[in-house]
Amino acid sequence: MSRLLPTPDALVGKRFDVALSKMMGISRMKAAGLVESQQATVLGREVSKSGILQAGDTIELDIVEERPEPEPLSQDLGVAYEDDDIIVVDKPVGVAAHSSVGWTGPTVLGSLLARGVHITSYGAPGRQGIVSRLDVGTSGLMLVCKSELAYKEMRRQFAQHEVVKTYHALVQGNLKQDKATIEAPIGRAKVSDFRFSVTPAGKEAITHWDVLERFGEATLVSVNLETGRTHQIRVHFSSIGHPLVGDPMYGANPELSAELGLERQWLHAMQLEFRHPRTHIWTTVKSEYPKDLREALEMMRSRHK
């Protein structure tokens, strides 16, 4: 669970690491380490450890803590692609990307390490090798880096939006258009530490979608993300009045979710396309719908024959 710290007036104009050390009562070296590992960031803009804090800046802390007990392992974590540089896992629902405060379930990183998979040491402690994440409640493809070369190059590709990420989502209602783009900034919602919303103070977020199938009360869409904000697909479709089926946090109808047997949002990371970090060959990795999403979709189709 993350913490938000408004910048005190007395620390406006100070270096980020200097201010953070004073606010937390820790050494400047430790504060700099939190900034470099992205466990301490400034909401809404990128600030290095030597960057200057401005009036109104809010610092977000997401500090990885050691777990008192060994984490449970995911036995259902599939592998869609693997070589000496990267591994693309097919993540089941209920598995987090990495350890975080308050999470006691299995993680992708922990489960891979327990299997003896070599993961690069590059990256923040407890998040090494990870260059992009999926929510706990979202299934599908996620790439983890095994080599230092892969970590540097894939982090660059994700940051430059060169990786093509395709999701399938079942959204409530009948979308008017066959394809469109949602471009709206996303930031943390004021009402909850766990929710996000469209807000002028948020970070740029761009979502492209195409209709695959229409059911009247719901629409199956293919989604491509230009950016990778937390809950981006869920927030963007909710913002246009079409929340994901099975997603009550962002306004889904619980009755429809129950009728379809869904206990989470209907959202799956279907395909990753990227240039291989070592060979530079354009690489495509694909996934299939997991059982719960497949059965819910078949039920939806049978309702509208």
DSSP-derived secondary structure letter, 20: H
Helix (H) or strand (E) holding 251: none
Facing residues of 171 across strands?
Answer: 219, 244
**Can you say whether residue 216 is alpha, beta or left, with left for phi > 0 and alpha for psi between -120 and 50 degrees?**
left
Report the C-alpha gap between 213 and 220 in whole angstroms: 5
**Annotation says 135 is catalytic:** yes
Active-site hit among 17, 57, 85, 135: 135
- Enumerate residues 6+ apart whose C-beta is below 8 A from 198: 184, 185, 186, 235, 236, 239
Tell me the pairing of strands 267-275 and 139-145.
parallel
Judging by beta carbons within 10 Å of its beta carbon (0-12, 13-18, 19+), is residue 25 exposed, middle or buried? exposed
Contacts of 63 (CB under 8 A, 6+ apart): 34, 39, 40, 101
Residues serving a catalytic function are 135
